[in-house]
Structure 1
């Protein structure tokens, strides 16, 4: 796992949420904005858009679902591993099986959280970064 970025205040954090569910993206944006103060939040609904947003927007943190149109979180992680800017990657998924956790962490994810149980952990993690 790479070292976490230097804390610069939640208001200054740039976040990307990549999930194929527009409803879930909006829920997360609302929850994160209200409870952490993070305001600079980009969205992606598929793998190509997520990769493009990571390269263009250079977010500090990326919250990714494991399955999205155009590929998977593994595809995203592999394509951006050697970029000059590498954000903290948090996989946030309903597919919290041990084999998926192992694959994601091996591919470069920094954290792996279950959507059904770890929403508070996601918020706490964002506050720590």
Structure 2
């Protein structure tokens, strides 16, 4: 019997309060082969609902949101949707923020200004891991 490949297209949901920044992130992520930005939100409550309804594989989360916080969202996702990979992309990158995000269940943490390319590379690596054929 022939092995069928797993779904390789990575479904990404963006959570960012600034519309212009969200557009730029979506554009950059959509340029990565096999990445689809399937939803966006600017607050924690809409994000939690949108991530669940969309079947997102990855949530890219800023810490500062229009209402609620990215940290709160990370905790809720870890509890309610543990299969979603969480990538924090924020300007609040001091060590205490990194530690708090790690404790809340974040899988990755990047400074929006200085580590944006590294964040894109991490998402590309997630795509590449999915491209391995199922056995």
Structure 1's consecutive aligned runs of 4 or more residues displaced over 3 angstroms after TM superposition are none
TM-score where L is the length of structure 2: 0.82
Equivalenced residue count is 121
Q: Indicate the residue corresponding to 1:93 in structure 2.
A: 90
Consecutive unaligned residues in structure 1, runs of 5 or more: 1-6
What is the aligned counterpart of 2:102 among 100, 105, 113? 105
TM-score where L is the length of structure 1: 0.85
Q: CA deviation at 1:84?
A: 5.1
Q: Indicate the residue corresponding to 2:132 in structure 1.
A: none
Alpha-carbon displacement from aligned partner over 1:60-93 (angstroms, at most 9, x marks no partner) = 0100001112211121122222325531000000
Which of the pair has more CA radius of gyration?
2
Alignment root-mean-square deviation, CA = 1.6
38-47 or 60-69: which moved more? 38-47
Does residue 7 of structure 2 align to residue 23 of structure 1?
no
* Matched-pair contact (CA < 8 Å) for 1:13–1:38: yes
* Matched-pair contact (CA < 8 Å) for 1:14–1:60: yes
